[in-house]
């Protein structure tokens, strides 16, 4: 690390500590984040602050928006000093779990809140406790253009539930319209990893899924070969929009769906540009449908939980905080249904609280996504358990599979070789 960067990080910490000291007598709760300065997210953070301060007279929330690119380095400096913020914002997964020793276990403190939240496993320690409460969730879902469905003679109120249904829809769209059946953004191989994950979840048993999460499932296994066979079916049958390898998932793919050039888009449910809010804004309110990934060789009624979710961002409490009870109340305000409504309306983010009041939302797409969270979601995404080397190789071979430059067998063997090298490296 350069001397200049070290100085910058230390100055940020010192400024925060000094600020904390100045307001100590006024009972200040210091919160660090990397999101509150974003225009779309600001109304959400503002409502948390104002609601909390109103409920706690004499307490001031000092919200410090740290630069996103140096956030975890600055946080590391605070952790080493055991001083600084009371509450910290964290990304789910390893970025949170790796800092568990510096954070307060929250399971008992949020016993009344946890049953309403999804995305918790992204902040779960090995002993089952939680080190942060998720504010948002992430996941992949299918959006579809209702006008394309109507032109193909399909009922837009009945999206495909099974792979057979999906095949029938694609056949009708190809035969009766000029649109492709499916598009996604596979620039740099980005979305092929999501395609594989959604097919796998629609196909695998809970035991196979758990085996993959433990990195015990070979890429050359029958279970994985079955997933790739379905992906190859999509390619060979011409369901996929030509040119997806050059499309951005966040701009090109959404424009293609909005323009009626495709029937189905694999998008996200978070505050990304290919999530429900931007998709509906571009397609027109009421013109976009939302569908769960189809069940593959399963009864969809017996397998409704087909929306995999991870916790996106979450608030944690530092062990050195002298305001831990206030911090708990602050986080409960952040995950409340009132704050969740503002998050959806301002940023298009999907809140972790499934008890959100939908009456204030005009968007049918948003309401459907929230309903799916309540009825049909399961914590933990297959795509989050690709190790880095596997992910990179999957992205590479996915592009080659789509263009017909690689076979399924060669692709699986190539990824498995990467997996074995990773296993050997860790021994």
In the chain, residues under CATH classification 3.40.190.10 are: 3-138+311-379, 140-268+386-426
CA atoms within 13 A on the CB side of 276: 29
381 within 8 A of 138, measured Cβ to Cβ: yes
Other beta carbons less than 10 A from residue 159's beta carbon: 22
Give the whole-angstrom CA distance, residue 72 versus residue 70.
Answer: 6
CATH code, 140-268+386-426: 3.40.190.10
Q: What single-letter DSSP state applies at residue 294? A: P
**Each residue's pLDDT expressed in tens, for the chain with a length of 427 residues:** 444 444 444 455 545 444 444 344 479 999 999 999 998 899 999 999 999 999 999 999 999 999 999 999 999 999 999 999 999 999 998 899 999 999 999 999 999 999 999 999 999 999 999 999 999 999 999 999 999 999 999 999 999 999 999 999 999 999 999 999 999 999 999 999 999 999 999 999 999 999 999 999 999 999 999 999 999 999 999 999 999 999 999 999 999 999 999 999 999 998 788 999 889 999 988 999 999 999 998 999 999 999 999 999 999 999 999 999 999 999 999 999 999 999 988 888 889 998 988 887 888 898 999 899 889 999 999 998 998 899 999 999 999 999 999 999 999 999 999 999 988 887 7
Max CA separation in the chain (angstroms): 72
| CATH fold for the domain made of 3-138+311-379 | D-Maltodextrin-Binding Protein; domain 2 (3.40.190)
Please provide residue 64's backbone torsions phi and psi, each rounded to the nearest 5 degrees.
Answer: -115, 110
Helices (H), 348-387: 364-376
In terms of pTM, does the model score above 0.95?
no
SS3 368: helix
Identify the CA nearest to 194 among candidates 386, 368, 388: 386
Please provide residue 73's backbone torsions phi and psi, each rounded to the nearest 5 degrees.
Answer: -70, -45
Q: Is 60 exposed, middle or buried (0-12, 13-18, 19+ CB in 10 A)?
A: middle
Please provide residue 162's backbone torsions phi and psi, each rounded to the nearest 5 degrees.
Answer: -125, 170
């Amino acid at each position: 690390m350069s001397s200049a960067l070290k100085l910058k990080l230390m100055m940020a910490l010192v400024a925060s500590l000094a600020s904390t000291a100045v307001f100590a007598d006024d009972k200040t709760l210091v919160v660090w984040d990397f999101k509150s300065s974003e225009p779309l997210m600001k109304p959400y953070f503002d409502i948390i602050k104002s609601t909390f301060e109103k409920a706690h007279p004499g307490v001031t929330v000092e919200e410090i928006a740290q630069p996103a690119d140096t956030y975890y380095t600055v946080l590391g400096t605070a952790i080493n000093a055991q001083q600084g913020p009371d509450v910290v914002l964290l990304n789910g997964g390893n970025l949170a779990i790796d800092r568990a020793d510096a954070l307060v276990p929250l399971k008992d403190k949020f016993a009344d809140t946890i049953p309403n939240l999804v995305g918790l496993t992204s902040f779960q320690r090995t002993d089952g406790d939680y080190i942060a409460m998720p504010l948002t969730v992430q996941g992949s879902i299918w959006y579809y253009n209702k006008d394309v469905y109507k032109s193909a003679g399909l009922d837009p109120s009945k999206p495909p539930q099974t792979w057979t249904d999906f095949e029938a829809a694609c056949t009708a769209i190809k035969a009766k319209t000029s649109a492709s059946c499916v598009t996604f953004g596979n620039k740099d191989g980005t979305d092929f990893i999501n395609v594989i994950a959604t097919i796998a979840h629609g196909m695998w048993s809970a035991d196979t899924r758990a085996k993959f999460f433990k990195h015990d499932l070979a890429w050359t296994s029958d279970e994985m070969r079955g997933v790739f066979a379905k992906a190859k079916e999509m390619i060979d049958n011409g369901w996929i929009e030509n040119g997806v390898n050059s499309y951005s998932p966040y701009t090109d793919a959404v424009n293609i769906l909005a323009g009626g050039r495709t029937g189905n888009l694999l998008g996200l449910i978070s505050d990304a540009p290919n999530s429900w809010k931007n998709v509906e804004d571009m397609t027109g309110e009421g013109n976009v449908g939302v569908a769960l990934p189809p069940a593959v060789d399963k009864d969809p009624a017996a397998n409704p939980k087909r929306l995999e979710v991870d916790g996106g961002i979450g608030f944690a409490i530092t062990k050195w905080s002298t305001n831990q009870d206030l911090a708990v109340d602050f986080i409960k305000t952040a995950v409340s249904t009132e704050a969740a409504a503002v998050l959806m309306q301002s940023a298009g983010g999907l809140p972790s609280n499934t008890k959100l009041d939908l009456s204030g939302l005009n968007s049918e797409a948003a309401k459907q996504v929230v309903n799916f969270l309540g009825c049909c979601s399961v914590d933990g995404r297959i795509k989050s358990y690709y190790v880095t080397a596997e992910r990179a190789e999957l992205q590479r071979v996915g592009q080659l599979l789509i263009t017909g430059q690689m076979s399924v067998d060669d692709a699986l063997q190539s990824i498995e070789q990467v997996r074995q090298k990773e296993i050997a490296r860790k021994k």
